[in-house]
């Protein structure tokens, strides 16, 4: 549980820097109120810190497989662990 809270704090830090809205683990990604650039920054920061795209083959777009409309913060956190 401590790791999940650490990741949630990290997510909210990036969201705050991108002028979005704070979220909880029960939130949907769209609740962040980020634009597409903000989403990109968030996921690149997460990848830098937690290597969330380590399993994506080189040359493949890791953003293409994300279901943006239904993605939850909990799913993002689970990807980081």
Tokens of 27: 């939130």
Cα gap 55→25, rounded to integer Å: 23
DSSP state of 27: S
The single residue listed with the structure tokens 């401590």 is 2
Tell me the pLDDT tens digit for each residue of 11-70: 999 999 999 999 999 999 999 999 999 999 999 999 999 999 888 888 888 888 788 889
Cα gap 16→48, rounded to integer Å: 18
Tell me the pLDDT tens digit for each residue of 52-65: 988 888 888 888 87
Phi and psi (nearest 5°) for 77? -60, -45
């Amino acid at each position: 549980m401590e790791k999940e809270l650490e990741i949630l704090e990290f997510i909210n830090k990036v969201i705050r820097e991108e002028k979005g809205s704070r979220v909880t683990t029960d939130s949907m990604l769209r609740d962040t109120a980020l634009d597409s650039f903000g989403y990109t920054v968030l996921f690149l920061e997460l990848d830098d810190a937690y290597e969330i795209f380590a399993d994506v083959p080189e040359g493949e777009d890791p953003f293409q497989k994300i279901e943006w409309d239904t993605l939850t913060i909990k799913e993002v956190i689970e990807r980081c662990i």
